Copies of this chain bind each other. A is one copy, B any other.
Amino acid sequence: MGREKILLAHGSGGKLSYELIKGFFLSAFENPALSELDDSARLDPVEGRLAFSTDSYTVKPLFFPGGDIGKLAIYGTVNDLAMAGASAKYISISFIIEEGFSLDTLRDIVDSITLAARQTGVKIVTGDTKVVEKGEADQLFINTTGIGYIRGGVDISGRNGQVGDLVLLSGTIGDHSTAVLSQREGFQFQTDLRSDCASLHGLVKEMLDASTKIHVLRDPTRGGLATVLWEVANASRVGIVIEEEKVKVREEVRGVCDLLGFDPYYLANEGKLVALVPQSEAEKVLEAMRENPLGREAAIIGRIVEENPGKILLKTGIGGHRLLEPLSGELLPRIC
């Protein structure tokens, strides 16, 4: 490109837009549907039910230990599709870029997107680039929207929780939020904190290979585990009891929480999932989870009950309990 900064003309739809697309995006994301460069990608027929999911990513800073906005944008949408029991197939990507943004940084992010797409087997088939004037956006926002195939015989929804189901959690909580926070201005601290940013598609595939009777899958991103469980309890009109001692929190994460007054149940995760599974299937599913690197620390953390529909009861180690409300307020904007 020979230029170092994004100019307004890169978003004009004209010559520089064309050069950016041809020289930057097309070569990185290459596939036949994208290379037609039409207003729409044209895709081969898809059999069975589709899953469709969108997310805009505004994470700050753009790079954090364990990931960056590009990787997050691919994995995040692949994960949302996986939470319907779907295998991600096609992704659209749309950039809103602040004038003056570094082209080198954009290239690093595009490389990260390319790698993440390759690792998850998803094709980037269509896209869009807008450039806004300096000061009218903060560096870079990315939207990804994905289409996946829903595996046959699977019916997974937040509404499908049933009394008697066990609650499985794939690993520790709070890693993503604390890793991003550690890079924020005014907070910078040296730690081994690392985002758990990962694609859950393989883990979900192996869980479904073990049992197609999984009722609910959710990835506890914004709002954290507490909010996601609360949503499921409300959608399914059931109560949930969680055993606090079964929920794993890394030492470093607990340290940050103690220091800053955060509760790990409300922190975002980007490579974890919670599953509601009939009791008869739970051991099989748990075993499958533990065989996957992303589920090595998986555990049964609770169960679905008839009492207190819409409420989450956290049983503490010392025999007490507290109610987990959904997140109110916002401590950590732009965590994803």
Residues of A near any B CB (own CB < 8 A)? 7-9, 11-18, 36-58, 79-81, 83-84, 86, 90, 92-96, 125-128, 130-133, 135-138, 141, 143, 145, 147-148, 150, 157-159, 218-219, 221-224, 227, 231, 235, 266, 268, 325-330, 333-334
With the chains together, A147 CA to B53 CA distance in Å?
11
- A150:B42 contact, CB within 8 angstroms: yes
Q: Which of A50, A96, A126, A227 has the most CB of B within 10 A?
A: A50
- A84:B46 contact, CB within 8 angstroms: no
With the chains together, A329 CA to B10 CA distance in Å?
8
Tallying the copies of this chain within the complex gives 2
With the chains together, A38 CA to B156 CA distance in Å?
9
- A11:B333 contact, CB within 8 angstroms: yes
- A58:B143 contact, CB within 8 angstroms: no
With the chains together, A231 CA to B148 CA distance in Å?
31
Residue of B nearest to A81 (CB): B40
For residue A150, give the distance in angstroms from its CB to the closest CB of chain B.
Answer: 6
- B333:A131 contact, CB within 8 angstroms: yes
Q: Which chain B residues lie closer than 8 Å to A8 at the CB level?
A: 330, 333
For residue A138, give the distance in angstroms from its CB to the closest CB of chain B.
Answer: 4
A43-B49, A80-B39, A143-B143 are contacts. A54–B14 as well, Cβ < 8 Å?
Answer: no
For residue A56, give the distance in angstroms from its CB to the closest CB of chain B.
Answer: 4
For residue A80, give the distance in angstroms from its CB to the closest CB of chain B.
Answer: 4
For residue A74, give the distance in angstroms from its CB to the closest CB of chain B.
Answer: 14
Q: Which chain B residues lie closer than 8 Å to A219 at the CB level?
A: 39
- A96:B58 contact, CB within 8 angstroms: yes
Residue of B nearest to A86 (CB): B40
- B137:A92 contact, CB within 8 angstroms: no
Q: Which of A127, A135, A222 has the most CB of B within 10 A?
A: A222
Question: 6 A–B contact pairs at CB < 8 A?
Answer: A15-B325, A16-B329, A43-B52, A44-B50, A92-B145, A137-B141
For residue A22, give the distance in angstroms from its CB to the closest CB of chain B.
Answer: 10
- B145:A327 contact, CB within 8 angstroms: no
Residue of B nearest to A14 (CB): B327
With the chains together, A43 CA to B48 CA distance in Å?
9
- B132:A334 contact, CB within 8 angstroms: yes
With the chains together, A333 CA to B330 CA distance in Å?
33
With the chains together, A137 CA to B16 CA distance in Å?
24
A12-B329, A148-B40, A327-B12 are contacts. A50–B45 as well, Cβ < 8 Å?
Answer: yes
- A329:B227 contact, CB within 8 angstroms: no
- B148:A145 contact, CB within 8 angstroms: no
- A235:B37 contact, CB within 8 angstroms: yes
- B38:A42 contact, CB within 8 angstroms: no
B12, B145, B329, B333: which contacts A145 (Cβ < 8 A)? Answer: B145
With the chains together, A9 CA to B222 CA distance in Å?
11
- B50:A126 contact, CB within 8 angstroms: no
B13, B80, B235: which contacts A227 (Cβ < 8 A)? Answer: B13
Residue of B nearest to A33 (CB): B52
